Amino acid sequence: MVTHYYLFCPQPELTLGTTSHTDPGVVTILLQDRIGSLQVNCDGRWLDVKSAPGALVIDIGDILQIVSK
């Protein structure tokens, strides 16, 4: 198991990272906080998901999606 906790960045325009919004793994479990930064793709547009502090979000990654087809 791997856990990550990313602090809020006050200047996100100065950060570098991947361009993809997808999870390359199998399954990711997210513990929601008050900041919220989860997005979903709906008809080609990325939409923000309203966070529910304390909720767990189970995200099916790219590998599991490929294997399940």
Residue 18 has pLDDT above 60, yes or no: no
Residue listed under structure tokens 């990325």: 46
pLDDT digits (tens, 9 = 90+) for 20-50: 667 878 888 888 888 777 888 889 898 988 8
What residues does each domain of the chain span?
A: 24-67
Structure tokens at 18: 């991947």
Of 47, 58, 69, 56, the residue nearest 23 (C-alpha): 58
Residue 11 has pLDDT above 60, yes or no: yes
Q: Look up the pTM and report it.
A: 0.53
